[in-house]
Structures are given as C-alpha cells and as structure tokens.
Amino acid sequence: MNYSSIRTTLKAGSIVFGASALFLLVAPTLFLDLLGLDSNEPMVWSMRMIAITLVALAGNMWNNSKNSSDAGVGNVAKVMCVSATGLGVLTLLIPGEITWFSYIYAAIGFGFGLSYLINILRK
C-alpha cells in the first residue's frame, strides 16, 4: 500500500466532508434543491443530522491520517474505499431526476473511491 498517498487522500476527504457538513448545516434546503429532492421539514432535519455525522467522519479521517499506524491507515482506506464508492452509487440512485449537481457529487465519491483503491493496490 502507498500509505503516504492514503494519508493525503484521507486529509483531502476530510476537508471535502467537512465542507459538505457545513453546507448541510447552513443551507440544507439549497443542498436538497441542488440534488433535485423535496425540501420538506423532515428532509431538512435529516440533512442536518447527516451533517453532524459528517463532522465526526471528517474529524476521524483527519485524525487517522495524522496519528494512525500504517496498518491502521490501510484499514481505514479499505472502509473509505467502499464508503466513497457507495456514496457515488447512492447519489446516482436518487429517487427523482438526476441533476448536474448529482453527477458532480457522485463523481467526487467515485474519485475518492478510486484514489483509495489505487493507493491500496500500489506499493
């Protein structure tokens, strides 16, 4: 595994997830609109709940990139590879019309998933 690149990917992912969390906390209705989803009260509440979870994820990603052993970073990369790819897939399975924002959000997920995969396989 290329541990240095995995650590860099974790830091970058932490920044992206942290920014997404702020976006979801501050403007959940806009986020839902960009995804082409209804922005009713339960959905806005759900987006804010997801935002808090993303804060925890971003913090853990950053912490692992800095403080975990190579073996720990490798394990985190495997989990994040599946999770990032799953984010891309689920974004494309949105119940409704897929918007330009959905494609970009899915591409970000797939991009991180691919980065983790490449660095897991590289020596």
Kindly report, residue by residue over 75-87, the tens digit of the pLDDT: 999 999 999 999 9
Contact partners, residue 92, CB within 8 Å, separation at least 6:
98, 102, 106
Domain count, the chain: 1
What pLDDT is attached to residue 14?
96
pTM of this prediction?
0.89
pLDDT score, position 96: 85
Domain boundaries, position 107: 3-62+69-121
pLDDT at 79: 96
Q: Is 1 helix (H, G, I), strand (E, B) or coil?
A: coil
Pick the closest to residue 84 from 57, 65, 51, 44 (CA basis). 57
Low-confidence stretches of the chain (pLDDT beneath 50): none
- What integer pLDDT is reported at residue 31 of this predicted model? 95
Under a CB-based contact definition with an 8 Å cutoff, are residues 73 and 7 in contact?
A: yes
Give CA torsion, residues 116, 117, 119, 122, to 10 deg: 170
